[in-house]
Structures are given as C-alpha cells and as structure tokens.
C-alpha cells in the first residue's frame, strides 16, 4: 500500500512538472517499473549472480529502454 501511494504521488508530481497528462505518466512509470524488473532479471541470467555483485552497472540503461519503447509507440 505504501509503495503504491508513493507511486501515485511521484506520478502526480512528475505530471505537474513535465506538463504531461497524469494517465500518460502512470503508463510511462508502469513501463519503467516493468522494464526495471526485466533488466534485473536479464542481468542475473547473463552474469549468473546478483546485480549488486556486478561492477558493470549502467544507471542510464533503464531510461534508454523506456525512451526507445515510448518512441516505438
């Protein structure tokens, strides 16, 4: 419940800051969360260990994937 409330508050704040429709922000954040899980799972599979043990973390990777996905649509 707390995480969902934080999700909504963050989406509302970003919606106001970026002047983007609230529903669009919710959609983008949902994709962001799903992609984040996918990236973490993929790294575990490729490296064979937890992401925290890896030194090759690209913090912009999730943002790049979200941007590519939104451009695709």
Q: What is the pTM of this model?
A: 0.47
Instruction: Read off the pLDDT of residues 13-69 as tens digits, 9 standing for 90 and up.
Output: 989 998 989 998 888 888 878 777 655 566 677 776 554 555 555 556 666 766 666
Q: Is the pLDDT of residue 12 over 70?
A: yes
Closest CA to 25 of 45, 8, 38, 42: 8
Q: Count CA atoms closer than 13 A to 37's CA, side-chain side.
A: 5
Q: For residues 67 and 56, is the Cβ–Cβ distance under 8 A?
A: no
Give the position of tokens 């690209």: 58
Give the position of tokens 């508050």: 9
Give the CA angle between residues 14, 5, 35 to the nearest 5°: 65
Higher pLDDT, 34 or 5: 5
């Amino acid at each position: 419940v707390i995480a969902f409330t934080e999700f909504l508050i963050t989406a509302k704040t970003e919606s106001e800051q970026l002047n983007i429709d609230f529903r669009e922000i919710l959609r983008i954040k949902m994709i962001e969360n799903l992609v984040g899980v996918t990236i973490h799972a993929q790294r575990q599979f490729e490296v064979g260990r937890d992401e925290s043990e890896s030194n090759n973390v690209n913090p912009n990777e999730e943002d790049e994937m979200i941007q590519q996905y939104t451009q695709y649509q």
